[in-house]
Structure 1
Amino acid sequence: MGLVVGNPRIPVPSTSSAVSDSGRSVPPCLWRDRDFRRLWVGQTASQLGEHTTLIVLPLFAVLTLNAGAGELGVLRAVGQAPILLLSLFVGAWVDRWRTRTVMVVTDAGRTLVLGAAVVAGLLGWFGLPALLLVAFAVGALSVFFDVAYQASLVRLVKRDQLLQGNSALEGSRSAAQIGGPALGGALVSLLSAPIAAASSALFFALSFLSIRRIRRTESIPERLERPPPLWRRIHEGLRFVVSDTSLRTVCLASAAFQFSFAAMMTVYLLFLPRELHLSGTTVGLALAATGPGALLGSMLAARLPSRFGYGMVLVSAAALGDGVFLCVPALHGSSAVTVSALLAINFVFGVAGQLVNVTVMAVRQAVTPDGMQGRAAATITFVGMGMAPLGSLLGGFLAMEWGLRTSLLLTAAGMMLSPVLMALSPLARLGRALPGPL
């Protein structure tokens, strides 16, 4: 989210707008657009592969390789490190290329990497070093895909369809959050990590096949014969984001959340099997409860901001979603009550988190020039998600030094800094209308 200079032209899809009886233009239904459906299918498959992988690798390390808290923190940090190392470069690069090409190539790359992991596992080489290598490679390719898909929607749909499009795409991520963790946990527990990795590879292959069928020619910024140096394009993206108070707040709030959330999740993935004595399948199912909540959140995000205001939705949803994890340290044992409480906690987190994600993304896309979409998304990702590797390392350190329950309480409390920052900023004063470019 932020201010832009000028009046950028946002490309329109080939489907024409419908007109109501009153003569006012009404956005056409995106589901009638074949290329949007192909993007949605590819995004859903890609997110399924990503969320399956995110649970497969840590659970395999904990349950099969008996990884300790420090080793798990390193594994998660290695998988998240590409966000810190590559985001700014990827954003500058994606702005000059067709997003379809970027997504297709990265899907193919993730398929090949996980396919190689399957072969390594079958040959008995799938130890911790191999896990670290796979986690870094998949994380690096995912940075390219995530930046590209955020920029792709703006090049495919009208400005007044952004909230609808983001709601649909974030709904696909919700479906992934339903199936990915449950599938990953079950496969690791019942079969083996190589088989679980093979399932992720199949999802990425499906995403590749769907996205490559997109036929619409993207409107991308005109390439100059002598384009500015890469560092200058990165600097332009940083300056664009930093120049606006609301955008700076998004970065700070995202950094506070991602740092604390990464630390909390490192402890959480140890707390569930070792403190509450839950099986890998139960852990996967508990985490999967985020998915139905996120699915509901994506539907609510298409309505609540225009009714109650974007600022009200952002602050209240962030406070609810982050605060609910303060209940987890109070749980004991593996009873049905404990499992039910975990399901409820993750469901609420999914609803609130998705409201925040969709709302912030729609606002940012609406006010960002076409040629700056990749760099704006990458800059915010760099500042926010770039803190995740450090948070994962901190979570592993706290778990070793202070114990799982105390560490979980501290890291969950740290997540509350994010809604506080938003409440004290101009974000909280956003009204019911989607902000437009200046």
Structure 2
Amino acid sequence: MPSVSSAVSDSAVSDSARSTPPSLWRDAGFRRLWAGQTASQLGEQTGLVVLPLFAVLTLHATAGQLGVLRAVGQAPILLLSLFVGAWVDGWRTRTVMVLADAGRTVALGAAAVAGCFGWLGLPALLGIAFAVGALSVFFDVAYQACLVRLVRRDQLVRGNSALEGSRSAAQIGGPALGGALVSLLSAPIAAASSALFFALSFLSIRRIPRAERTPERLDAPPTVLRQIREGVRFVVGDTALRTVCLASAAFQLFFAAVMTVYLLFLPRELHLSGTAVGLALAATGPGALLGSVLAAHLPQRFGYGPVLVAAAALGDGVFLCVPALHGSSAATVATLLASNFVFGAGGQLVNVAVMAVRQAATPDDMQGRVAATITCVGMGLSPLGSLLGGLLAEEWGLRTSLLVTAAGMVLSPVVIAASPLARLGRTLPVAREAPPAAEGDGVRTRGA
């Protein structure tokens, strides 16, 4: 069955012959978005391992300090997402992504230089983590909105599958590269590699050739707060989007807690080296690559709802086996590789399906605000999760804390299973009009 949403008109379906899968790759704009997003994800995945491992292995950070470091890097999601979403909806996403890449290149380049001179202590790491996190919010919201502006809605599943596949490739190479560079060379070299990836993303994104479909500029544009309010009201009023938001919140809260404990559990409880930690995390990548491939077929065969429930339950539940591991034997490493592979496959299948549902259910000129609202409510809880993970690790020990936080991740598939989203069939939802603005809110944006 073709992956065409019910929101697409009959005329658009009849034109699909001109948009066969190869034509998407012949589109220079999409290719450069894909290449830039791939490089950006490599930079993010490398950096996510480099900064925590530098803190743990070189600065001998405690569980609480590691929790603070991760929380500081994630705090911009909560503080900035809603404002970034409103801002992105009125600007060309290419410009936003280029500036974010340039800023992250400078921040991590400064980290590399500071590390070479021995200045890269915990305060510097905190500042760099916050800056990179803030700029990543801009990039992530912009690239999600950019795809909708560059391709037609009947190409969203293929486009998302390709972009998520690139993130899978980054998850394969990024953690392993970051862990190996920190362990074998130095943190400055590892930071410099992340900066290089962001520079490559900058060069690719800035060469996207065609103009985007951007909202009309109005003589009396609405205020940012009113735009934010419209985005929140739209998500709350849509059953599918509301469920995605709540499930994302449950997952991100406990996943952040799990990862804080996990990054301590592997080197300190299982006595794994930095390279082994990076390889274990990198196993998520091949699984995610498989998940991207499956996401292009399974929802059209079994329905989006059943696939979401099954994939989330399998991917999130697999972490429950990790606390039972002991020692650094080959069997332990193999189990970690297998569990991360399953987590990556299930998680990526959920990511692609959820992204397609969200984009199809959202009008073009609200893509940034809806993405930012879901990101803020979901990933905005990540700092709290990181602090929770650090606190539990200090109070209850690493093994018990990992079991409790892993059990919390299972709340996400429970939320999906209990909602109408679980019954969504093989067609994507129709994008509905945003609710009318309250009287006195001012001039509405086009299509909102």
Q: Output the TM-score relative to the length of structure 1.
A: 0.95
1:35 aligns with 2:29: yes
Residue 161 of structure 2 is matched in structure 1 by: 167
Letter paired with 2:168:
S
2:61 is matched with 67
Pick one of 399, 403, 408 that aligns with 1:414.
408
Distance 2:22 2:123 in 1: 50
**1:6-405 equivalent positions in 2, closer than 5 A:** 17-18=16-17, 29-405=23-399
Kindly indicate whether the alpha-carbon contact (under 8 Å) linking 1:17 and 1:28 is maintained by their aligned counterparts in 2: no
Counterpart of 2:17, as a letter, is: A
SS at match of 1:386: helix
Q: Measure how far apart 1:26 and its partner are.
A: 5.3
Question: Aligned equivalents of 2:135 and 2:348: distance in 1?
Answer: 23
What is the CA deviation profile of residues 29-87 of structure 1, one whole-angstrom value per residue up to 9, with x for unaligned ones?
31111111111100000000000000000000000000000000000000000000000
Q: Once the two structures are superposed, what CA deviation does each residue of 1:175-198 show, in whole Å capped at 9, x if it has no partner? A: 000000000000000111111000
Secondary structure of 2:124's aligned partner: helix
- Per the TM alignment, residue 18 of structure 1 is displaced from its structure 2 partner at its CA by 2.5
Q: Which one-letter code corresponds to 2:61 in the other structure?
A: A
Once residues 241 and 16 of structure 2 are traced to their aligned partners in structure 1, the CA distance between those partners, rounded to angstroms, is: 31
State the Cα distance separating 1:28 from its structure 2 match: 5.8
Aligned residues: 422
**Contact 1:8/1:370 (<8 A) preserved:** no
* 8 A Cα contact 2:234 2:370, kept in partner: yes
Contact 1:306 1:432 in 2 (8 A): yes
Q: Distance in 1 between matches of 2:274 and 2:289?
A: 24
1:402 is aligned with what amino acid? W
Q: What do residues 358-396 of structure 1 show as CA deviations (whole Å, max 9, x unaligned)? A: 000001111211110000000000000000000000000
CA distance, structure 2, for counterparts of residue 329 and residue 215 of structure 1: 50
Distance in 2 (alpha carbons) for counterparts of 1:249 and 1:437: 16
TM-score by length of 2: 0.92
Task: Tell me if the contact between 2:8 and 2:154 (Cα under 8 Å) persists in the aligned partners.
Answer: no
Q: Could you tell me whether the CA contact under 8 Å between 2:175 and 2:282 is conserved in 1? A: yes
Q: Secondary structure at the match of 2:119?
A: coil
* Residues 18, 28 of structure 1: 8 Å contact kept: no
What's the secondary structure of 1:223's corresponding residue? Answer: coil
Counterpart code for 1:359: A
Q: What is the Cα-based RMSD across aligned positions, in Å?
A: 1.4
Q: 1:59 to 1:197 in 2, by over 3 A?
A: same
In structure 2, relative to structure 1, the CA distance for the partners of 1:275 and 1:386 (3 Å cut) is same
SS of the counterpart of 1:395?
A: helix
- 1:3 is matched with none
Q: Percent identity?
A: 81
Whether contact under 8 Å (1:8, 1:369) holds in the other structure is: no
Distance 1:417 1:113 in 2: 36
Paired residue type of 2:40: S
Structure 2 unaligned segments of length 5 or more: list them.
1-6, 433-448
